[in-house]
Amino acid sequence: MSMKFDRPMNWKELPAGCLIDEAATSLRFKTGDWRSMRPIWDAEKCIHCLFCWITCPDTAITVQDGKMTGIDYDYCKGCGICAVICPPKASAIDMVREEK
Amino acid sequence: MKTIAKTGNEAMAYAMKQINPDVVAAYPITPATEIVQIFSNYVADGEVDTEFVAVESEHSALSACVGASLAGGRVMTSTASQGLALMHEILYIAAGNRLPIVIALVNRSLSAPINIHCDHSDTMGSREAGWMQLYCANSQEAYDSLIIALKVAEQTAVPAIVSTDAFIISHAMERLEVLEDEEVQRFIGEYKPRFSALDLENPKTFGPLDLQDYFFEHKRAQIDDFSKVLGTYNKVAQEYAELSGRYYPALEEYKTDDADVAIFTAGSTADTAKEVVDGLREQGRKMGLVRMRMWRPLPVEEIKAALGKFKAVAVMDRSDTMADFGGPVFLETRGILYDAKKKPLLTDYVYGLGGRNIDISDILRVYDEIEQVVKQGKIDKLITYLGVRGEE
């Protein structure tokens, strides 16, 4: 049985037990809408040290070929760790208030 | 089929040996019984293939059982009293995850005061946990019930507790008829789990957080599965009767056909009450007995039909609800009879707490008193504490 997440299931449609019959379903849970502060990345200033990539608790820093390419706002909760960890000399990430 | 002499504990351990579960995890907290100890001898002697996991508490014992069951194993354990209380949290987790674990249990009172003797307060305190509950009247029934319960549990994905009365059954040597190992294996069949956490080809998510949006749906589905247990039980009990010649209905009636009054009780006391009924019948007094064997799920229609035909019924409860309204069997029976077309006058006798002896004269007194209730057409005393000093 494949579970559908396009609408809330009723109790008769659920597999027995508190089981989800596939793995890594948290990918479909977009936590980005929890965010009240948004990190803004400046590609010009970035030195690609990847400290933000290592410390991001939501793996929301996207990287390609060893270089940072941006922030995945689908999952970024706006915790601000990336902005704090970013070396002061680079200071490539600013936190700004999320606009409605 | 062979005949042997065994105590209730030995009988249950022997059934576990013949079932030969994949995993047994246990810890002998006081007052544990020797069921696990006997079973661990079978493990040490190589008579079973079971992985025996010795853990550090009953909480861990059932937790290890949950893990083993999620991995797709056939899993059993044993406990009593405080041990079941310590497992309480995990009882709900096993049931919610639909893990058909079976516990061979000995009913013992809960502390305080400290006591190791029989009453039903341990399992009655867990009756909302989502486990099937079977109360046995003797060792033969305990042996048979473990085998029946395992099959019902695995077919319905509802875990089961099979219990005996401490010492009265657990430590008393009785004549017992047992099946051959192969007969038991053929009856229970190979366990085909619905899922396995070790199935790496089909990874699944077990035990995720389930909040306001889905928790209620999961619980509703669990309640629905639970409602199918009685039907499955009736079918499996019938199959077992064909194999063994011993049939165990969810609710047993004894000499009730023309009876005006009856006692409604569970466990070994029901067997004692049968002796009393036989004696009363010789005197020409029309009295019967209804024995509560399955208490979860409640055989509601069966209880309504069985008790509805009497003029008066005395419930005998071996625990109290601390609701100032008698024992759990009384309370729930009153609820069941509320909308019955015909209903008896219903009284409650709370008896035998902490192993206080219950003998033929006590039960005779109950029959005398309910006969009096019928004559008067009313109840003078709704709840009686039977056999306690200061109360007579």
- What does A41-68 look like in DSSP terms, one character per residue? E-TTT-----HHHHH-TT--EEEETTEE
Q: Look at the alpha carbons of B151, B68, B164, B230 in this order and tell me if their dihedral is positive or negative.
A: negative
- pLDDT for A37 equals 96
Q: How many residues does chain B have?
A: 392
Q: Coil, strand, or helix at residue B44?
A: helix
Residue A3: band (very low, low, confident or very high) from pLDDT cuts 50, 70, 90: low
- Does residue A1 carry a pLDDT above 50? no
Give the pLDDT mean for B131-150: 98
Write out pLDDT tens, residues B324-371.
999 999 999 999 999 999 999 999 999 999 999 999 999 999 999 999
Chain B residue closest in CA terms to A19: B206
Residue A7: band (very low, low, confident or very high) from pLDDT cuts 50, 70, 90: confident
Residue A6: band (very low, low, confident or very high) from pLDDT cuts 50, 70, 90: confident
- Does residue B293 carry a pLDDT above 90? yes
CB contact set of B17 (below 8 Å; sequence gap of 6+):
B39, B42, B47, B48
- pLDDT for B28 equals 82
- Does residue A2 carry a pLDDT above 60? no
B199 touches chain A (CB under 8 A): no
Give the CATH number of domain B251-386: 3.40.50.920
CB contact set of A95 (below 8 Å; sequence gap of 6+):
A37, A38, A39, A40, A78, A80, A83
- Does residue B130 carry a pLDDT above 90? yes
Give the pLDDT mean for B251-278: 97
User: For the ranges A2-6, A92-96, B210-214, B322-326, which has the lowest average pLDDT?
Assistant: A2-6
Query: What residue has token string 């080809």?
Result: B201
Cβ neighbours of A77 (radius 10 Å): 17
* List of chain A residues whose C-beta atoms are within 8 Å of the C-beta of residue B98: 16-17, 19
Write out pLDDT tens, residues B195-205.
899 999 999 98
Give the CATH number of domain A30-97: 3.30.70.20
Residue B346 CA to residue B369 CA, distance in Å, equals 12
Q: How far is CA B70 from CA B62, B67, B95, in A?
A: 12, 5, 12
Residue A5: band (very low, low, confident or very high) from pLDDT cuts 50, 70, 90: low
B318 DSSP 8-state letter: S
- Which residues make up the CATH 3.40.50.920 domain(s) of chain B? 251-386
Record the tokens describing residue B192, joined without a space. Answer: 């085909």
Phi, psi of A91 (to 5 degrees): 45, 55
Mean pLDDT of chain B: 96
Specify the CATH class of B2-243 in words: alpha beta
Percent of chain B with pLDDT over 70: 100
B158 touches chain A (CB under 8 A): no
B296 DSSP 8-state letter: E
Q: Which of A2, A3, A10, A19 to mutate to test the interface with B (most CBs of B within 10 A)?
A: A19
- Does residue B212 carry a pLDDT above 50? yes
Q: How many angstroms separate the CA of residue A18 from the nearest CA in chain B?
A: 6
- Which residues make up the CATH 3.40.50.970 domain(s) of chain B? 2-243
- pLDDT for A29 equals 86
